[in-house]
Amino acid sequence: MDDVTNDLMSPDALLATVGRYNPKTNETLIRAAFAYGERMHDGQFRHSGEPYFTHPIAVAGILAEQLLDDATLITALLHDTIEDTKSTYTEVAELFGDDIAKLVDGVTKLTNLQLSSSETKQAENFRKLFMAMAKDMRVILVKLADRLHNMRTIKAMRPDKQIQKARETMDIYAPLAGRMGMQWMREELEDLAFRVLNPDGRASIIRRFIRLQKETGDVIEKITGDMRAELAEHNIQAQIIGRAKKPYSIWRKMEEKEQGFSRLSDIFGFRVITNSEEDCYRALGVIHRRWFAVPDRFKDYISQPKTNGYRSIHTTVSGRDGKRVEVQIRTQQMHDVAEAGVAAHWSYRDGMRSKNPFAVDPVKWVASLNEQFGAEDDHVDFLEAVRLEMYSDQVFCFTPKGEVVKLPRGATPLDFAYAIHTRIGSACVGAKVDGLRVPLWTRLKNGQSVEIVTAEAQQPQFTWLDIAATGKAKSAIRRALREQDREKFIKLGAELARSAFENVGRKATDKALETAAKTLRLDGGNSVLANLGSSVLTASEVVRAVYPELVKNSDTSIDVGRAVVGMGQGQAHERALCCEPLPGERIVGITQRGRGVIVHAIDCQALSKFEDSPQRWIDLRWQTGIHPPIHSARLYVTIGNDAGVLGRICTLIGEQGANISDLSFTDRKPDFYRLLLSVELRDAEHLHSIISVLTAEDDVAEVARYQNPKDADESVSEIGPELGI
């Protein structure tokens, strides 16, 4: 939806827009309203310096795009006259009729509500808002269009006013538009508010989208073409529309899933619009047969419509590369309601009120809302009841005492416990939802009452990290686990330190560790070991804190530039992070501007990115006996969760003459740990001997070399591999 102010600077332009869907429009009355509003606002200007009446014209244009009736458009043209000019209710009624005067007066009263004030005042204003909706829903439609245009032109306002309006939009108007089924307006309002509240975050998303398009081409066109061909093969006529999701929608998903942009999958959405309801289900079958359906991502709003009339089938499918796209399937009539929401009741086509069987009666819809909210006498309870209905991306649950706890959708009783207090969360042993005992991994729903069962001796478990959905809960769990495991980490750190110090011919004495603690500004030797065992510090950092000259010398004793043969005079090289090639392995170089040559193993998956750039390839080989003595390689090791196993692993690696420079836990279960080890070694033969020794250990379930194409920043962008299904 673009700002149409410039297209509607005259009554002729506005009437041309209206005439396309309502040839029977009352042209005389609209012209009169245009002239009256222009006269009343004469001499008034917006913050941008434009004549003020450009704003009512733009609001009317937004509503005309929704195919709305004459009364709504005239109200838009006049919506600020009673408030901001010498016009009166009586005069508007005499000139345009009582119905329009009531609508204009209703919008005026809504404009005067300070919806972002204190909770008590805000709750009372919400009551007035719903009362206005009950009288005539078109008042809210005009107000939403008014807010949309103000947000589109918000840059002309003072910065503090921009932030206030943006927060009010994000908290109230955007959710209200979504609740009314006007999803396109909700998304645009959210994105405009996001631009004000977090401009850097929004700019980051847009930059990554641009980069994604350069990397992968037009993904939308490719997927749309695939779907169109698949449906045509099964004789299903359908219109297919693809789009990238709005920046704020992507940002919210990143926050909820705690994932970076490159790991976010369903950033594209597709709509399949068929000729009949039967074809909707046929199309669903075709799509699910052609692509993999993602579990728990299917909803049938055709058989179970939303209260605002919304009908559609939602599914998410995944291609061979694991990337997901969201697909919505609906008929044209369903699509019209999905676009207009409750406003579809007033839509016109060919001069007649559109008879859409899926459009809800707004009077009955608002009455049902007021019935839900009318039972709440307390201002705070009423406000929470309203929010329960309006915020689809959050859940509001209640404590046994009736206090409201706000959580993101997908939250569990464990998140609820930590939201109350960290102490409650850490002591949680169970939960009751609406009086029934449920597992801690249960997903909470709006309005549920949650009771947390605690035990004094309980402590957080590793498995809770997989159950918790909120950052607060996960952070508290990790902190508690670190405290619980301090002794374990100290023991592990001691083994890592012993191996690292022996590697440079020294011993990890208490005095050495105390010296390291002073250099690293930690509280004693045990803090050094605990940080080392929990991967906060690497073994090299600890040794360097005591013997900097030994670590430095071991890294630079041989000229790195002489280790690889095949480069031009003076060319520098780096080992690729994705495959970490070692002496003894076949290698190839890729020229990189500003960095020289990046050395890859010949079987590195990241090389596929350069198949169309043969001029960048260089044939290389290791020069026997001239390679540096230390190279790093990473190993995935799965070990049994038994006492002393970690220590034995460290000892075995040390006995092979290698040093563990870093260690992190990638998975912790009651019966096993999975570790990612960074090992400093000589060459491929040295690596194979370490793998063989570890594999022979009874408590080691698996050892594998870690290689990841996504770690190749010179060959794979932060956005990741090509999208598609």
Identify the weakest region by mean pLDDT among 115-129, 520-534, 616-630: 115-129
Tell me the pTM: 0.51
pLDDT for 14 beyond 60: yes
Q: Can you tell me the distance from the alpha carbon of 280 to that of 230, in angstroms, rounded to the nearest whole number?
A: 14
pLDDT for 607 beyond 50: yes
What value does the mean pLDDT take over residues 310-316?
90
CA angle, 97 then 102 then 106, to 5° = 150
pLDDT for 552 beyond 60: no
Domains, the chain, with CATH or none: 5-197 (1.10.3210.10), 201-353 (3.30.460.10), 393-483 (3.10.20.30)
Q: Which residues of 63-94 are buried (b: 16+ CB within 10 A; e: fewer)?
A: bbbbbbbbbbbbbbbbbbbbeebebeeeebbe
Q: What is the largest CA-CA distance in the chain?
A: 100
Q: Can you tell me the distance from the alpha carbon of 418 to that of 407, in angstroms, rounded to the nearest whole number?
A: 11
Q: Please give the positions annotated as active site.
A: 83-84
Q: Can you tell me the distance from the alpha carbon of 133 to that of 634, in angstroms, rounded to the nearest whole number?
A: 62
Grade residue 717 by pLDDT with cuts at 50, 70 and 90.
very low
402-444 confidence digits (pLDDT tens): 787 878 778 899 999 998 998 999 999 999 998 899 899 999 9
What value does the mean pLDDT take over residues 249-254?
76
Please, which residues have CB within 8 angstroms of residue 712's CB and are 6 or more apart in sequence?
Answer: 576, 577, 578, 579, 598, 600, 604, 606
Q: Can you tell me the distance from the alpha carbon of 719 to that of 721, in angstroms, rounded to the nearest whole number?
A: 7
pLDDT for 352 beyond 80: no
What value does the mean pLDDT take over residues 560-588?
78
What value does the mean pLDDT take over residues 523-541?
80
Q: Can you tell me the distance from the alpha carbon of 213 to that of 224, in angstroms, rounded to the nearest whole number?
A: 16
194-220 confidence digits (pLDDT tens): 999 888 888 888 887 777 767 666 778
152-169 confidence digits (pLDDT tens): 999 988 888 899 889 888
Please report the pLDDT score of residue 73 as a whole number. Answer: 93
Q: Can you tell me the distance from the alpha carbon of 168 to that of 156, in angstroms, rounded to the nearest whole number?
A: 17
Please, which residues have CB within 8 angstroms of residue 55's CB and are 6 or more apart in sequence?
Answer: 5, 46, 80, 146, 149, 150, 153
Grade residue 346 by pLDDT with cuts at 50, 70 and 90.
low
pLDDT for 561 beyond 50: no
Please report the pLDDT score of residue 235 as a whole number. Answer: 93
Of the chain, the percentage scoring pLDDT greater than 90 comes to 19
Identify the weakest region by mean pLDDT among 41-55, 178-192, 554-568: 554-568
Please, which residues have CB within 8 angstroms of residue 396's CB and are 6 or more apart in sequence?
Answer: 384, 387, 388, 404, 405, 406, 407, 446, 447
Please return the burial class of 501, using the count of CB atoms within 10 Å of its CB with bins 0-12, 13-18 and 19+: buried
